[in-house]
């Protein structure tokens, strides 16, 4: 039996999201690219590539991973490309998207003959957290002036807009897309393709998928463009858990339980955004604060309810542990890195990767 901690990806749960992505592609004509910044565990790409068109990236290493391990279309994007990496980026992508006109012009010669695009910032977003808001004041993420963009239309064939963030409200998506059309419609009409980015929670239980598909199709036909989406969380939401074991319990005004994992090392995104982890069913008369084992005082998964007292040796499953988890895991405190396991569609569990002291040592110097 695999020792905790480990991430467990359940392909049957993953498949539910992928089937919705497939249906959306069929209804709308849009293409779907996995956002590797959110999820890059290539041990399940064998399933995902049957339901998606390829990958999109934020760095040279993500570009290479998508090209080598996923296949299909490989879109390259970066906030800024370095001189010593641009050739390798171009060798591993189908499309390259520049964040600024300055970068587009700087690498115009090197990228000649490659399909090129430009990120556009519509200066509106769904984010209510400044850290993740691409339209925040003085944002470096994309160009916003139509006149400046007009001047480089001969160098590009498409645009990337990424201004949704955990947006489960179709009405809000529709409103912002209309705003994009109002501001940039004349430029979009001259393009061949448009990526609308990620952050749209269209695989959620109550999301109006058919209405969303119709809106995408209408946009595509109006401007004569191929629409791309870049789902990250939408592709993998609720498909994985972080399996942990209770090491100790104590009482200090609250019942506390310390587990063999760390939110800072293994679910960093929750700590950054000050969110609680999830446990199900989270019911019962015993309330316990679940704590990580690092030395950080705030290494807390959250407070949950249980039907019986929690004791050392108990196994717990932290829910929804796929997006922005494995891609952010780190070696803080030298805490043991969770292994990665996959529950196949037939129910068998396969260990994909385990990490050792040697991995920790080699990550340093």
Omega into 5 within 30° of 0, i.e. cis? yes
Alpha-carbon span 39 to 352, nearest angstrom: 15
Query: Is 233 annotated among the ligand-binding residues?
Result: yes
Residue 231 tokens, joined: 């789902």
Query: Is 269 annotated among the ligand-binding residues?
Result: yes
DSSP 269: H
Helix (H, G, I), strand (E, B) or coil at 223: helix
Helix (H, G, I), strand (E, B) or coil at 91: helix
To 5 degrees, how large is the angle CA 17–CA 20–CA 25?
Answer: 130
Alpha-carbon span 121 to 212, nearest angstrom: 22
**CA nearest neighbour of 75 among 94, 60, 92:** 94
Burial of 171 (0-12, 13-18, 19+ CB in 10 A): exposed
Annotated binding site for substrate: 233, 269
Annotated binding site: 233, 269
């Amino acid at each position: 039996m695999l020792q905790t901690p480990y991430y467990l990806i359940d392909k049957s749960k993953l498949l539910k999201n992928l089937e919705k992505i497939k249906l959306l592609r069929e209804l709308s004509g849009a293409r779907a690219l996995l956002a590797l910044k959110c999820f890059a565990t290539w041990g399940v790409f064998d399933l995902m590539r049957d339901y998606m068109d390829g990958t999109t990236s934020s760095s040279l290493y993500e570009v290479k991973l998508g090209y080598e391990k996923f296949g299909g279309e490989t879109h390259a994007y970066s906030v800024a490309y370095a001189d010593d990496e641009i050739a390798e980026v171009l060798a591993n992508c189908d499309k390259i998207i520049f964040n600024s006109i300055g970068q587009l012009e700087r690498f115009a010669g090197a990228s000649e003959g490659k399909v090129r695009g430009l990120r556009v910032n519509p200066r509106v977003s769904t984010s209510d957290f400044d850290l993740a808001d691409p339209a925040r004041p003085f944002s470096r993420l994309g160009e916003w002036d139509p006149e400046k963009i007009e001047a480089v239309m001969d160098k590009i064939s498409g645009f990337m807009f990424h201004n949704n963030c955990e947006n489960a409200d179709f009405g809000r998506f529709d409103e912002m897309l209309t705003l994009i059309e109002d501001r940039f419609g004349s430029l979009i009409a001259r393009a061949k393709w448009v990526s609308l980015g990620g952050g749209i929670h269209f695989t959620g239980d109550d999301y109006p998928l058919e209405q969303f598909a119709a809106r995408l199709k209408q946009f595509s036909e109006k401007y004569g463009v191929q629409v791309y989406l870049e789902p990250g969380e939408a592709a993998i939401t609720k498909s994985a858990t972080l399996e942990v074991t209770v090491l100790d319990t104590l009482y200090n005004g609250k019942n506390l339980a310390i587990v063999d994992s760390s939110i800072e090392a293994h679910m960093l995104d929750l700590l950054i955004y000050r969110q609680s982890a999830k446990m199900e069913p989270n019911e019962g008369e015993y309330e316990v604060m679940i704590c990580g084992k690092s030395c950080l005082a705030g290494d807390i998964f959250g407070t949950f309810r249980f039907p019986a007292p929690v004791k050392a040796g108990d196994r717990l499953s932290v829910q929804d542990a796929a997006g922005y988890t494995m891609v952010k895991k780190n070696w803080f405190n030298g805490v043991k890195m969770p292994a990665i396991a996959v529950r196949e569609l037939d129910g068998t569990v396969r260990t994909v990767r385990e990490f050792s002291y040697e991995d920790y040592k080699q990550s340093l110097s």
